[in-house]
Structure 1
Amino acid sequence: MKKRYIFISLIVICIVMFIITSFCSFFKVEGDSMNPTLVNNDVVYVRKTKSFKQGDLIAFNYNNKLLVRRVIALEGDKVNIDQNGYIFVNDKKLEENYIQSRKDNPLRDEIFPYTVSQGHIFVLGDHRTHAIDSRMRDLGAIDQNQIVGKVVLRVYPVIRFSVL
């Protein structure tokens, strides 16, 4: 009888692990590009999806690394950044209460206004001074094929657990 419970428990664990790895992933955040929303060594839960909206946090592959950035604009949107660091999408100013400073990254080399290409998403880091994001031509707007999914939870450290 005990062997049967162990066998059933192992089957249930395997099924749960299959479901978790098929539809979501856990990743460790490296760096401070998303500070203060996410900080170095936070662990996040990423739901695999291809449906995003402005303000979502997404995880995507870039140069053999997984990066997390915030969706600012979708395909066809026009993005502009003024001298004070305010972001405008389709001529509407974004309310960005998640950033601490609007100071620009000195490596920015993209020309604005910028229209997001078909099949791409324009992303920015929350720590604008240090984030490598769509303001840099090397990264640019993210091809939707590079996107792993939407960051939905911070699971570690446990005291900072939150829905994102």
Structure 2
Amino acid sequence: MVESRRRRRAFLRESVIVVVAAVVIAVVVKTFFFQAFSIPSGSMNNTLLKGDRVLVDKFSPWFEAEPTRGDVVVFKDPGHWLDGSAEAPAPHSGVGYDVQNALSDVGLMPSADESYLIKRVIAVGGDTVDCRAGRPLSVNGVVLHEPYLYPGATPCNDDAVGTVVVPAGDLWVMGDHRDDSADSRTQRLRGNGGGFVPVSDVVGRADVVVWPLSHWAALPEPDTFHQSGLSQPADGIAEPAAIAALAVLALSALFLLRRRRRLRRVPRRA
């Protein structure tokens, strides 16, 4: 009986340690490394579909790395972009809402009412964007061949803004479904901050679609943004940063695995 009680106490103690460690690791990962976000609309079709879950790299910005052309980024609403938009979080209430936000606090789900958007970076500070009806989109005089555009969508026809120079420290972003995206073009025509997104509002780069599993895909920078004349800034968000974050996740998983193995060991006493 004494030995049995000792085993139960040991099991409970180790179980508590594993659970607490898992929660702490999840919070650290969400705060410093990766966070899950849900796609709220069809503005990024067919690259990202409504309801997809993406993992966003929050690690690189800690090293003052900035987004580069072609990155798909999540950013805070720069100011009234979401007003009346299909991407605005719908009001929620009830147990499901509370549970989702609780899981969001530890990085296991996106928040139910986050005011964030997701778009593709087309141009960075100092770039000149040319967006005219009936013409392909160009940056710094280089025509972009955009294979990621939604089939049948036009580069600029619906919201042509002409020639725009992006200020230093800002981004020009657009959805892949141009005919269904209230992006930098729409905001500029509305007189909403010129349509620019401050780099400081960027949460991180979306690296991979993780859910549903049938949509799993990496989100690399398209080749069109590596044409001559469109050299990437030296301080772009780098792959090594994401690799370092993955290494931390691997070490965390190894720690939890070792703890679980200890749970299976039965103390032997004389």
TM-score normalized by the length of structure 1: 0.89
Match of 1:69 in 2: 119
Match of 2:239 in 1: none
Tell me the number of residue pairs that the alignment of Structure 1 and Structure 2 aligns: 162
Which of residues 218, 221, 236 is equivalent to 1:163?
A: 218
- Checking the alignment, whether the CA contact within 8 Å between 1:105 and 1:130 is kept in structure 2 is no
TM-score normalized by the length of structure 2: 0.56
Match of 2:209 in 1: 154
- Checking the alignment, whether the CA contact within 8 Å between 2:132 and 2:157 is kept in structure 1 is no
Match of 1:120 in 2: 170
User: Within 2, Cα distance between the matches of 1:146 and 1:81?
Assistant: 24
How far 1:39 moved relative to its partner? 1.1
How far 1:47 moved relative to its partner? 1.2
Which of residues 32, 36, 45 is equivalent to 2:55?
A: 45
Q: How does 1:6-25 map to 2 (within 5 A)?
A: 6-22=15-31, 23-25=33-35
Is 1:79 matched up with 2:150?
no
Code of the aligned partner of 2:182 = I
Is 1:2 matched up with 2:11?
yes
What SS class does the counterpart of residue 123 from structure 1 fall into? Answer: strand
How far 1:7 moved relative to its partner? 2.8
Code of the aligned partner of 1:84 = G
Whichever structure has more helix as a proportion of its residues is: 2
Is 1:92 matched up with 2:101?
no
Code of the aligned partner of 1:6 = S
- Checking the alignment, whether the CA contact within 8 Å between 2:131 and 2:160 is kept in structure 1 is no
Task: State the identity as a percent.
Answer: 29
Whichever structure has more strand as a proportion of its residues is: 1
Residue by residue over 1:6-65, the C-alpha shift from the partner in whole angstroms, topping out at 9 and shown as x without a partner, is 133123202321222112211111111000001111111111135211111001122463
Code of the aligned partner of 2:116 = L
Code of the aligned partner of 1:25 = Q
How far 1:113 moved relative to its partner? 1.0
Determine which structure has more spread, i.e. the larger CA radius of gyration.
2
- Checking the alignment, whether the CA contact within 8 Å between 2:131 and 2:156 is kept in structure 1 is no
